[in-house]
Amino acid sequence: MSIEAVQPALPDAGLDVIVTGLSSDAHTWNLVYLELLLEELGCRVTNLGACVPDATIVRECADRRPDLVVISSLNGHGCQDGVRLMDTFRAHSELVTTPVVIGGKLDVVGGSNAARLLEAGFDAVFEDSGGLTPFRTFLRTLSVRTSGVPLGAG
């Protein structure tokens, strides 16, 4: 485990982000951690919590139109549940271009699921061994595309 410093963003550089768990995953500490991390980076966060049904995730995203959806899974079923969710999510025309990422413990055998999840419609996959740096890099890139101001610039 490594400790990585968080550099706050400029207040108006933040993204509107939905953080959520998947329907089969009851873990909550990871969702709270992501919420706090994203807030420290200047994002406005709506945390849907754990055990969220696919239909609820889709409805909340269609209603709120976030800049990013962050899905976290720790129970080892993230790949299976994530692929199923994206079938429904990407079928909604208003959500086709919404960036969605997934991370955590995505299976029970420790294999790489990135290709399968990207093919299902995720914009990025962050497996549990990768640390925070790739996720923060993705956020900065996304922030530049949506607001012109990179997260952590300031």
pTM of this prediction? 0.86
- Averaged pLDDT, 5-17: 63
28-86 pLDDT, tens digit each: 999 999 999 999 999 999 999 999 999 999 999 999 999 999 999 999 899 999 999 99
29 belongs to a structural domain: yes
Cβ(71)–Cβ(30) below 8 Å: no
Domain that holds residue 29: 18-112
Packing angle between helix 54-64 and helix 78-89, nearest 10 degrees?
A: 50
Given pLDDT bands bounded at 50, 70 and 90, which one contains residue 128? confident
41 belongs to a structural domain: yes
- The number of distinct structural domains making up the chain is 1
151 belongs to a structural domain: no
100 belongs to a structural domain: yes
- Listed in sequence order, the DSSP H helices in 12-94 are 29-40, 54-64, 78-89
Which of 34, 116, 115, 121 lies closest to 74, judged by CA? 34
102 belongs to a structural domain: yes
What's the CATH code of the domain at 106?
Answer: 3.40.50.280
134 belongs to a structural domain: no
